[in-house]
Each structure stands twice: as C-alpha cells, then as structure tokens.
C-alpha cells in the first residue's frame, strides 16, 4: 500500500484516497504503533459548521460509539484539530455492495447471505433504539471474506429523538429506497421505514434493478406510495412472497424483522436450526444507570410532587457527555465555559442547595422550566456573568447537572466556579474529569 508521507495526529500514516464527498474524504491509513489498517474519514470542520451539519456529525459519532456488531463498521476513535475532525474506523477493503449490484443481479445464495447479515445488523440497531434511515447498497460494505458491514450513520436517529406521538418526522434517505410513509410526511416509525429499505435492497440484489422506477421523481413517489412494482420472472414463489410482505405500503401491516426471520426464503439452508450470529461481548455497565428510569414504579416519592420538570437523560446522551467523547469542543466557542457533575441527591435537594449557594456567594437566582437554575451576578456592567445549572435525571437515584457559563468572560467564569465548587460538596458525587460513574 502506497503512503502519502503524511502523519495524522502523530498516530496514523495516511495512504490512498478511498472516497470523497462534499464535506469529507476517506483515506486508507495505518496505525504507526501496531501497523493496523484503518480507514480515516476526514471532515472539514468549517464546512460542516457553515452547512449546519454539526448535529448530524455528533449523531453519527454517538451512534457508532454505541454499536458493536460483526456486520456494522466499527468506530475506533474520534480526533480533532483546529480545522479537521477525524473518524478512525475499521478498514473494509472489499468495496461496497453497490459496485457489485451495478454489474447485475447477484447469485441467490449470495443475496440470501447479504440479506441475512443486513437484517441481523438492522435488528441489533433497532433493539438499541437506533434507526439508520439511509440503508442502500452504497452504505453496505464488504470485507475480505465477503461479509456485509453497514456504514454511514449520518442520517440515523435515536429513539429519544421521537416526538410525543412516538413517530419520526424528518424526511430523509435516498429516493429509490425511502418508505412511502416517509414521503407522506405524516410521521413514521423508524423501524418500519428501515425494513422497507431492506426490502428494496433485497429486490435490487435479486433483480439488478430498482422495484420502483420512473424518469419523473414525483411519478416514482406515487408508485412507492401505492406499492406498485413487478417481480421479474426468475423470482421464486417464496422470494415474491417475502418481497411483497416487506414492500407493503401500509406500515401497520408490513412484516416485522421477527417474522422475516421465520419465512421460508430466509431460513432456507439453516436445516431447521435457529440461526445464531455470534455477537461480540459488550460492556454495558455504562448503560445500567441510564436504563433504570424505565421502571416508572421505582421513581422516588419525593419527586412526584416536585413542580420542576426534570429531563430524563438517556444512555446515548450520557456517553456523548463523557470526558473522552464530548464533541462540543469540536464546534462550540464556549467549550471552556462548561462542565458537569453527578449527584445522588434528589432534584429538589439539588435545587435547594443551588439557592443556598447563590445566596451565600451573592448571586441572583432564577428558576426556569425544565430543571434549570440560573445564577446571575449582582455586579452591574457589560461583563455580568450568568451560570446555568441544568438538571437531568439519569435514574431515580442519580442526577447529572450541566454547568454552563453565559455572558461574562472565561476568566470570570472559572474564578466564580472555583468559589461554587467547594460550596456544592454536600450534593456532588463526581465532577467531570473525575472517576466516571457511568
């Protein structure tokens, strides 16, 4: 492999260009210390910020950091310089599935293997509240053993991103693979939408062309919304039956992944055995605290009558706040004016203590909705400092308080924080940067 003579972050030798897009380029690279081959996605930070894609990049990192599956590209680490963001990922050298299907349909046995691996990966993501929302052959890579690897989680979303109606509302994805309910913009279930995309991928693998085609995009959308497609004559009855159940335009009657696994076509060659895909051992200890609040009966009685609405913090958000994985510094100007601490005290006890400390340190206090306590300096002038304390419930017995400095300068913020921290000793369990309880 030819290397370009450039070293990234004093850790990786950069090799040839693997691909590029509007905001990023992907290179082959090699870890200097152990020689491991990796792929490095280099993102232009300024372009991302100007395009308003900051949250999309953060989302992709948060999602990829959470998932460990043999059929999903593994993210090793994220690094950043003043102008670039570096995603260091597993190097998958077999190319993408699109390159294979562009040559025509694939053999039935290969299509079945790829589809099984795709379903396994998607099912794994759904079990963790993650929806990909842009499944297509271009985002499905093949390794040296011809095994499928799902990549590109830039458009993915997490279950906690849903509205109160439990539906997603962002129209996204690639037109030929997008589900009809996504096009309708009436709200959709992320799992059902991903299943539809899997069905389109299966059709393309088996036929070599799209099920829904038209030179006019609106006409193609009409066909998708009606589920109008025709299977080629070489599709077997079991293939036709499965494709029809997946490409059902009604999401409420569309086949589920559990039912897909039970179909004759999917199970062929498994000899009646339950298909098992070896999963890597996961350390989920960091998720335990975050999932404890799922049991409504375990909420502390003293919080039932608390008029302050405390936001539940999910596992994904906890990980994004972890000291080694907080991306706010990659984009935000005030990254030096924020920190957080955890507490085992109740929300009301935390709020009471904040009031006490504010009075002691001569701050004016305002309590806002959503569990936010705002401390304002009584000093008059343009450099007045405001510090926000926002309280999040991780579990009934654990809260996270995010501390942000607003207005004022960084020096003043750190000066006053040094006064605040010792005064909060009674309620603080761990400050950011100390032993992480998650």
Q: Three-state DSSP class for 362?
A: coil
Question: Is the Cα dihedral 249, 252, 253, 257 positive or negative?
Answer: positive
68/61 Cα distance (integer angstroms)? 13
Contacting residues for 303 by C-beta, under 8 A, at least 6 apart: 310, 346, 347, 348, 396
Cβ-in-10-Å burial (0-12, 13-18, 19+) of 349 comes to middle
41 is an annotated ligand-binding site residue = yes
DSSP string, 380-433: -STT-EEEEEEEEEEETTEEEEEEEEEES-HHHHHHHHHHHHHHTTTT-SEETT
Contacting residues for 425 by C-beta, under 8 A, at least 6 apart: none
State the CB neighbour count (10 A cutoff) for residue 328.
Answer: 13
Residues with a known catalytic role? 134
Contacting residues for 135 by C-beta, under 8 A, at least 6 apart: 118, 122, 150, 177, 194, 197, 198, 201
52/314 Cα distance (integer angstroms)? 24
The Cα diameter of the chain in Å comes to 81
Cβ-in-10-Å burial (0-12, 13-18, 19+) of 290 comes to buried
If we measure between CA atoms, which residue out of 7, 4, 196, 204 comes closest to residue 97? Answer: 204
260/243 Cα distance (integer angstroms)? 10
DSSP string, 251-316: TTTSPPHHHHHHSHHHHTTSTTPPP---------HHHHHHHGGG-GGGS-HHHHT--SPPEEPPHH
Q: Measured between alpha carbons, how far is residue 241 from residues 55, 231, 248, 271 in Å?
A: 40, 10, 11, 21
341/431 Cα distance (integer angstroms)? 4
Q: Which residues are annotated as a binding site?
A: 41
Q: Which residues are annotated as a binding site for ATP?
A: 41
């Amino acid at each position: 492999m030819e290397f370009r003579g450039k070293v990234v972050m004093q850790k990786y030798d950069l090799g040839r260009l693997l691909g590029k897009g509007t905001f990023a380029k992907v290179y082959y690279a090699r870890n200097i210390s152990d020689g491991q081959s990796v792929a490095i996605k280099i993102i232009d930070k300024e372009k991302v910020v100007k395009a308003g894609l900051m949250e999309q990049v953060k989302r992709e990192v948060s999602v990829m950091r959470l998932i460990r599956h043999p059929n999903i590209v593994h993210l090793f680490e994220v690094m950043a310089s003043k102008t670039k963001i570096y995603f260091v990922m597993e190097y998958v050298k077999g190319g993408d599935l699109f390159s294979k299907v562009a040559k025509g349909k694939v053999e039935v046995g290969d299509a079945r293997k790829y589809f099984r691996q795709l379903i396994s990966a998607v099912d794994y993501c759904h079990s963790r509240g993650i929806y990909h929302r842009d499944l297509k052959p271009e985002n499905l890579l093949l390794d040296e053993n011809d095994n499928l690897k799902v990549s590109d989680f830039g458009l993915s979303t997490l279950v906690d991103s849903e509205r109160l109606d439990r539906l997603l509302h962002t129209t996204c994805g690639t037109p030929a693979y997008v589900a009809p309910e996504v096009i309708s913009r009436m709200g959709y279930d992320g799992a059902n939408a991903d299943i539809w995309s899997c069905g389109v991928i299966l059709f393309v693998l088996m036929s070599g062309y799209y099920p829904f085609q038209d030179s006019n995009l609106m006409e193609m959308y009409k066909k998708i919304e009606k589920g109008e497609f025709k299977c080629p004559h070489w599709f077997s009855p079991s293939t036709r039956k499965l494709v029809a159940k997946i490409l059902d335009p009604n999401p409420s009657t569309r086949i589920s992944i559990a039912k897909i696994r039970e179909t004759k076509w999917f199970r062929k060659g498994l000899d009646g055995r339950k298909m098992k895909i070896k999963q890597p051992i996961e350390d989920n200890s960091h998720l335990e605290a975050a999932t404890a609040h799922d049991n409504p009966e375990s909420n502390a009685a003293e919080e039932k009558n608390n008029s302050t609405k405390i936001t539940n913090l999910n596992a994904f958000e906890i990980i994004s706040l972890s000291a080694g994985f907080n991306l706010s510094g990659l984009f935000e100007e005030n990254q030096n004016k924020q920190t957080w601490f955890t507490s085992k005290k109740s929300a009301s006890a935390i709020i009471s203590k904040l009031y006490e400390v504010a009075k002691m340190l001569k701050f004016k206090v305002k309590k806002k909705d959503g569990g936010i306590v705002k401390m304002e300096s009584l000093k008059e002038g343009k450099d007045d400092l405001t510090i926000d304390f926002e309280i999040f419930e991780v579990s009934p017995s654990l809260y996270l308080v995010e501390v942000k400095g607003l207005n004022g300068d960084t020096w003043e913020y750190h000066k006053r924080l040094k006064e605040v921290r010792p005064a909060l000793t009674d309620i603080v369990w761990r400050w950011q940067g100390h032993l992480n309880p998650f």
